[in-house]
């Protein structure tokens, strides 16, 4: 059994499609550190949640990055959804010439152990990934990557190893369409369709979370 640490049932629905293991929503509002780095937020969340949970945990920290605003709202997406709102983000972007954006997510996994003995998955996206996804791949395949080594030497709570998996999807900010999905899905268009117009399966096949989950699921199957 895998605990998905989130207050967002939409994320759990998406994860369930990927994992053979039972995925349970662990509704634990972990303290989100102020950081402009999704990986750092997710890693910190996974460590604090692991201490409160019974078994392995994943935390997924995501954000909407709008090019013309230099990536805003990015790590502050949750706050912006609550304040400006989804429709408001569309109105902010509409007058701009460039509507390009991306969703990104980082999944952080923690089970109290280290990862040295777990084989890396062979060839997920290998050779055909965009620069950003390659970075995700490298991050995921570095068993003692930035989020673990540096923090391990500090000892204490921060010594719990965490493994990170990234996903990214490019798109455009558009006027809201569709009733599916959650969050900013109605204003995020990918290949002519908003995420809110897609089924969970269709969204997973192209989404940031789908990509990160695919990498995670392949690795987790070996664990």
Query: What residues act catalytically?
Result: 61
> Is residue 7 near ligand ITT by the rule CB under 6 A?
yes
For residues 175-204, which are near ligand ITT according to CB under 6 A? 181-185, 195
For residues 107-146, which are near ligand ITT according to CB under 6 A? none
Interacting span for ligand ITT (CB under 6 A) from 2-10, 122-130, 141-149, 155-163: 2-10
Closer residue to Na ion, CB minimum distance, 68 or 78: 78
Q: At what angle do helices 208-222 and 131-141 cross, to 10 degrees?
A: 20
Q: Judged by CB under 6 A, how many residues of this single chain contact ligand ITT?
A: 21
Closer residue to Na ion, CB minimum distance, 78 or 129: 78
HEC-encoded secondary structure of the chain = CEEEECCCHHHHHHHHCCCCCCEEEECCCCCCCCCCCHHHHHHHHHHHHHHHCCCCEEEEEEEEEEHHHCCCEECCHHHHHHHCCHHHHHHHHCCCCCCEEEEEEEEEEECCCCCCCCCCCCCCCCCCCCHHHHHHHHHHHCCCCHHHHHHHCCCHHHHCCCEEEEEEEEEEECCCCCCCCCCCHHHEEECCEEHHHCCHHHHHHHCHHHHHHHHHHHHHHHC
Query: Which of 16, 25, 68, 78 touches ligand ITT (CB under 6 A)?
Result: 78
What is the contact surface with Na ion in residues (CB under 5 A)? 78
Query: Which residue's CB comes closest to Na ion?
Result: 78
Q: Which does 165 bind (CB under 5 to 8 A by kind): ligand ITT, Na ion, none?
A: none
Give the x/- contact pattern for ligand ITT in 35-54, rule: CB under 6 A: --------------------
As measured in angstroms, the least distance from the Cβ of 52 to ligand ITT is 14
Which positions lie near ligand ITT, rule CB under 6 A? Answer: 6-8, 11, 60-64, 77-78, 81, 103, 181-185, 195, 207, 209
């Amino acid at each position: 059994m895998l605990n998905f640490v989130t207050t967002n049932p939409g994320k759990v629905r998406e994860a369930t499609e990927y994992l053979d293991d039972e995925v349970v929503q662990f509704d634990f509002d972990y303290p989100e550190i102020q950081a402009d780095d999704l990986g750092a937020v997710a890693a910190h969340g996974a460590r604090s949640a692991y201490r409160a949970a019974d078994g392995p945990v994943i935390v997924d920290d995501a954000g909407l990055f709008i090019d013309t605003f230099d990536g805003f709202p990015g790590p502050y997406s949750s706050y912006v959804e609550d304040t400006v709102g989804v429709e408001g983000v569309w109105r902010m972007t509409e007058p701009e010439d460039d509507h390009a954006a991306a969703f990104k997510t980082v999944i952080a996994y923690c089970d109290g152990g280290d990862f040295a003995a777990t084989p890396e998955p062979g060839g997920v996206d290998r050779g055909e990934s965009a620069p950003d996804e390659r970075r995700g791949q490298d991050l995921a395949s570095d068993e003692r990557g930035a989020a673990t080594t540096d923090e391990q030497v500090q000892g204490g709570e921060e010594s719990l190893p965490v493994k990170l998996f990234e996903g990214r999807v490019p798109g455009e900010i558009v006027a809201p369409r569709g009733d599916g999905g959650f969050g900013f899905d109605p204003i995020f268009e990918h290949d002519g369709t908003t995420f809110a117009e897609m089924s969970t399966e269709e969204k997973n096949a192209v989404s940031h979370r789908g990509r990160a989950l695919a990498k995670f699921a392949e690795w987790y199957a070996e664990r």
